[in-house]
Chains A and B, each alone.
Chain A
Amino acid sequence: MKLSAGDFLCLEGDFASSLYIVISGTLVGSCSEQVCTATKRFEPGSIIDVFSLLENAPREYTLKAEEDCEIQVVDNEQLKAILDEKPSWLRSIIEFLIRRNHIGEENKRKSDLVQALPSLLYLFSGLLKELNSNTVPVNLLSERAFRMNGSRPEECRKLLRMLQELGILKIQEDSVQVESRELIHLLYETLRYRALERKVSPNILSMTDQMVLTVFIKLSKQNKDPLRNGLSAIPTSELKAEAKKSMHGMTLTTRTIGSLVEKGILTPDTTLDFHAKLEQSEFFFGDFDHIMDLLELNRIFPLLDKKLVE
């Protein structure tokens, strides 16, 4: 097939069952997908649209002759005729390679998505601080994620939708809104700790710790006293009584509350002697918002990995 300079060979998305081999001249390919916004040049020896030949996949590029070109077209009938002549294992090998390509593509797509999450959270948290707002324009976030990590806008949108399904943000028309700015940062830090320290982050709490904090939050909400510097103060006696009710009759002891004190999530009004009774402290203090964020983090974190690979 001969083309004159400026002629179009095919349009992106056209369904076809043939491939092109450039014999002479140069073709320029363009496509609308974000990943290949730049044009690609095909010079003599280039082979284009292998998957159109093998499985009738749509054309990857709109191809235009940059100069006079000679193109060889190979269609599916020719492929079939050759493979019918050849031993069956050759067909098996080609089919295997096609399968591997698809699996490889799918794995890459998933791994890119997993890879994009930490930087998206990092930038999101940074932008919330920079803009001093609970809302960030989606385009701004995508733009910065692309700069920093090469993440594609569709990956960002997918991750944001996933986080929305987990209930930690809300996508509005062209912006994304969070209820708690700190939660995004906590989520990032927890992922970072897991990846770099190869340990469970201290932000991930045991079931008992979560139950104690749920009791603490419940009492804080009932408490009519205003928060002091964001801190809620709950009398130990009330904490014990409510824990007994909410935690299936479990008695709250210095030991049960100890890990929360050690992590600095709850603070007693006196230095806690871990061998003495819990009543040694009259009150326990805790940052209401931080505890709410921690509980939310512990709710979503186990679901995150599953969501990512869905």
Chain B
Amino acid sequence: MNGNSRQQVIPPAHLSVKAGFVVYSHNDQERKIIILDKGELAAVDNSQSPRKIMFTMHPGDLVGVAAILEREPFRYDLEATVDSEITVVGEDCMESELKNIPLWLLAVIRELSAKNRQRKEDSRHSRAGNSLISLAEFCRYQKKDEPYPLEGFVQEFCWQTKASAPSVKEDLKALCRRKFVEISGSVVTVTHPELLELFVDYLETQEQDKPWPPLQLTLNQKKALVRLSIMDNQTPQDPPAWLAYFQKNNITLTAADWIKMQGLGWFANPKENLFVPDSKKVQYFLLALRYEINLRGVL
């Protein structure tokens, strides 16, 4: 990787130009780097009327690097505003010089150029890691059963996230399939915003290859959950009293079940060692069980 193989180097062209001379026209097919050694150049947009000076170049400035290295056309015309001296590095010249530098330096130049290109590419796309999670998160804050014009809905989401409209429509179909949203003609309705919260959590655990707790319950734990959801009187009780309560209702739970249920947040602990069901959490798990098929998308 020391680049010792020497090849013929094509030298750059050094030119003296008079004021008004067009050094580069945006129609030029040939890509080149122009370095201003002396004088002043102006980058002019002649497509506008009146023509507009975009920027002026001073000695030491250069243009055209992106044109050669990143194949990105230079959009303006370049004119000398005063008598000037320039160096023109054409593609052949650049290539011949790059062949004579060590490979690591070539890699550095390519890396710098690639980083720029990558950054530009990235800025055109959504930064969200998972487009379906992103859309579900957006939908869950929409009003339940409110009809929205589909195009406006997609446009708003794209504006927020830079997602592309076709991919959003695909993801909307995935939510439709699960019956979380409905699309009827040009109208979209979020029918189950409450389930989208669960769906987002479910997808996240899937992505991380982790089991989702609501779908890991044993039969007795499920029975206990249903029991908790239909309880009228929610007097704080200690763990043995709770276990006795479940036993009385023909649900046999072990201490391990109790620890798991506590870990899942089904019980709030308002006072020392006395527990009451956390109705929100219980409802969350219950919904997950009821709509398991929708969440899994295996309808």
Contact = CB atoms under 8 A, between A and B. Distances in A.
Interface of A: 19, 21, 23, 47, 50, 53-54, 72, 74, 79, 82, 86-87, 89-90, 92-94, 96-98, 100-101, 104-105, 108, 111-112, 115, 118-119, 122-123, 125-126, 129-130, 144, 147-151, 192, 195-196
B203 to A, nearest CB: 9
Contact of B129 (A19, A21, A150): A150
A123 B159 contact: no
Contact of A105 (B35, B65, B119, B161): B119
A123 B141 contact: yes
Contacts, number: 123
Contact of B200 (A54, A130, A147): A147
Contact of A21 (B69, B107, B116, B137): B107
A89 B35 contact: yes
A94 B109 contact: yes
A74 B109 contact: no
16 contacts: A47-B108, A72-B104, A74-B104, A82-B105, A86-B97, A90-B101, A94-B108, A96-B62, A129-B141, A130-B141, A147-B134, A147-B204, A148-B161, A149-B134, A149-B160, A192-B159
Interface string B159-179: 111100000000000000000
A89 B35 CA distance: 8
B35 A101 contact: no
Contacts of B113: 97
A230 B107 CA distance: 68
B155 to A, nearest CB: 6
Contacts of A130: 141
Q: Determine the main DSSP class of A at the interface with B.
A: helix
A198 to B, nearest CB: 11
Contact of A54 (B89, B108, B126, B127): B108
Contacts of A125: 141
Given A104-B120, A119-B161, A149-B134, A50 B60 contact: no
Contacts of A23: 1
B115 A101 contact: yes
Contacts of B140: 126
B146 interface: no
Contacts of A96: 62, 65
Interface string B109-148: 1011101100110110011110001100110110000000
Contacts of A126: 140-141
B112 A82 contact: no
B156 interface: yes
B116 A100 contact: yes
Contact of B159 (A89, A101, A196): A196
A11 B127 CA distance: 28
Contacts of B138: 122, 148
A196 B152 CA distance: 9
Interface string B44-83: 0000000000000000101001100100000000000000
B43 interface: no
A21 B141 contact: no
Contact of B33 (A53, A54, A89, A151): A89
B116 A19 contact: no
A287 to B, nearest CB: 20
A53 B104 CA distance: 11
A97 B109 contact: yes
Nearest to A48: B111
A147 B161 contact: no
Please give me the 9 A-B residue pairs with the lowest Cβ-Cβ distance, nearest first. A150-B127, A126-B141, A97-B112, A148-B137, A119-B160, A150-B128, A47-B107, A104-B119, A148-B134
A82 B102 CA distance: 8
A21 B62 contact: no
A72 to B, nearest CB: 6
Nearest to B119: A104
B12 interface: yes
Given A89-B87, A115-B162, A50 B127 contact: no
B128 A94 contact: no
A246 B105 CA distance: 70
Contacts of B119: 104-105, 108
A94 B62 CA distance: 11
B5 to A, nearest CB: 15
| Residue with the greatest number of chain A CB neighbours at <10 A, chosen from B89, B112, B123, B126 | B112
Contacts of A144: 137
B159 A147 contact: no
Contacts of A105: 119
A126 B190 CA distance: 15
B205 to A, nearest CB: 13
Contacts of B108: 19, 47, 50, 53-54, 94
A174 B155 CA distance: 33
B139 to A, nearest CB: 10
B136 to A, nearest CB: 9
Interface string B189-217: 00000000000100010000000000000
